[in-house]
């Protein structure tokens, strides 16, 4: 018999709201992650000077629906109108595909989320149009990739969620870049966005969360060449840097394993971890 609780709401810590996936669920997350990664591999040869982001959206949509038989998670998600997100130059995230042709030197993030068998896989990468861009843009794209990797490398049972953001912020700062604070990574599974929120910077306000085997979440730092502040455009989705500086982002879906982590959305072109 428990003690009578005089009208106090039960204390529910963030830690208790984080789903631990079963082995069966983890296998489904592996499948979804692989499929999301495959879309990025498939689209690569089409990401060229002159193509529009609407055309890229169409190609990805057809591939996902007809060949992979997955659901493109962004489509109609809280009213998002397209199947992928495309964020170009000073756009930070959630860019809506449109009819503007990409030009040489543009940097673009393509963000893919699929649903397969009830589970989500979420991953994004940067492309440099024409393979050449400014030295600053090149450094930024590389830096944001390194930030994602150093964040991932913190993941193991017993580590704290905050270790991820700390490591990312330290690296970005050392390269004189800034970390976006208004958007974060997220738990993922049956839901697109689950607990916990994965901050890419250090905040003493965040509740402590210990990483445990079976947790799945994304790490997806957005790194700006200028200041960290961002704003949302009138389309209700596209996020841009306030100072119009360039922004770059990479994203992987991660599983906490008994000994460390597994990158569920790893592509063959990447260095293994
Ligand atoms: N894929 C994004 C993320 O990494 C979310 C996009 S929401 C959408 O969390 F509605 F814009 F698709
Ligand atoms: Co995500
Ligand atoms: Co994403």
Taking only the tens place, the pLDDT of each residue in 63-118 is 999 999 999 999 999 999 999 999 999 999 999 999 999 999 999 999 999 999 99
Q: pLDDT of 145-204, one tens digit each?
A: 999 999 999 999 999 999 999 999 999 999 999 999 999 999 999 999 999 999 999 999
Q: Which residue has the tokens 């994203």?
A: 251
Pick the residue with more confidence: 11 or 53?
53
**Band (16; pLDDT cuts 50, 70, 90):** confident
State the average pLDDT for the chain: 97
**Spatial separation of the C-alpha atoms in residues 13 and 258, rounded to whole Å:** 23
> E-assigned strands of 84-241?
85-88, 91-93, 107-116, 119-128, 178-179, 185-187, 194-198, 216-219, 222-224, 230-232, 239-241
Counting ligand 1 atoms within 8 A of each CB, the residue from 83, 109, 122 with the most, and so the one to mutate, is 122
User: How close is the Cα of 122 to the center of ligand 3, in Å?
Assistant: 5
Q: Which residues are within 8 A (CB) of 12 and not within 5 positions of it... i.e. 6 or more apart?
A: none
Checking if the pLDDT of 1 tops 60, the result is: no
Q: Is 80 in the pocket of ligand 1 (CB under 6 A)?
A: yes
User: How close is the Cα of 189 to the center of ligand 3, in Å?
Assistant: 13
Whether the pTM exceeds 0.75: the reply is yes
Residue 141 has what pLDDT? 99
**Band (11; pLDDT cuts 50, 70, 90):** confident
Counting ligand 1 atoms within 8 A of each CB, the residue from 64, 73, 84 with the most, and so the one to mutate, is 73
**Half-sphere exposure (Cβ direction) of 253: Cα atoms closer than 13 Å:** 30
Q: Is 113 in the pocket of ligand 1 (CB under 6 A)?
A: yes
Domain ranges of the chain: 15-259
**Spatial separation of the C-alpha atoms in residues 269 and 272, rounded to whole Å:** 9
What average pLDDT does range 24-35 have in this prediction?
99
Q: Is 95 in the pocket of ligand 1 (CB under 6 A)?
A: no
Please determine, looking at this structure, whether the domain spanning 15-259 carries the CATH number 3.90.230.10.
yes
Residue 15 has what pLDDT? 86
């Amino acid at each position: 018999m428990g003690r009578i609780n005089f009208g106090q709401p039960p204390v529910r810590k963030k830690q208790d709201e984080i789903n631990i996936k079963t082995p069966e669920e983890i296998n489904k997350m592996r499948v979804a992650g692989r499929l999301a990664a495959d879309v990025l591999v498939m689209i690569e040869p089409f990401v060229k000077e002159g193509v529009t982001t609407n055309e890229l959206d169409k190609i990805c949509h057809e591939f996902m629906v007809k060949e992979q038989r997955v659901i493109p998670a962004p489509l109609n998600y809280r009213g998002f109108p397209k199947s992928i997100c495309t964020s170009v130059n000073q756009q930070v995230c959630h860019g809506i595909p449109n009819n503007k042709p990409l030009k040489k030197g543009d940097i673009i993030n393509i963000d893919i989320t699929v649903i397969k068998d009830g589970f989500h896989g979420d991953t994004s990468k940067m492309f440099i149009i024409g393979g050449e861009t400014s030295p600053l843009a090149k450094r930024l794209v590389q830096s944001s990739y390194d930030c994602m990797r150093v964040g991932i490398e913190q993941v193991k049972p017993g580590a704290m969620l905050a270790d991820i953001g700390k490591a990312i912020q330290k690296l970005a700062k050392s390269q004189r870049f800034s970390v976006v604070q208004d958007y974060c990574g997220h738990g993922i599974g049956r839901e697109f966005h689950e607990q916990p929120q994965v901050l890419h910077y250090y905040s003493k306000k965040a509740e402590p969360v210990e990483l445990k085997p079976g947790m799945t979440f994304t790490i997806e730092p957005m790194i700006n060449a200028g200041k960290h502040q961002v704003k949302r455009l009138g389309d209700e989705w596209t996020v841009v840097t306030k100072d119009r500086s360039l922004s770059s982002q990479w994203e992987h879906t991660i599983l906490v394993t008994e000994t460390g982590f597994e990158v569920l959305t790893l592509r063959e072109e990447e260095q293994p971890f």
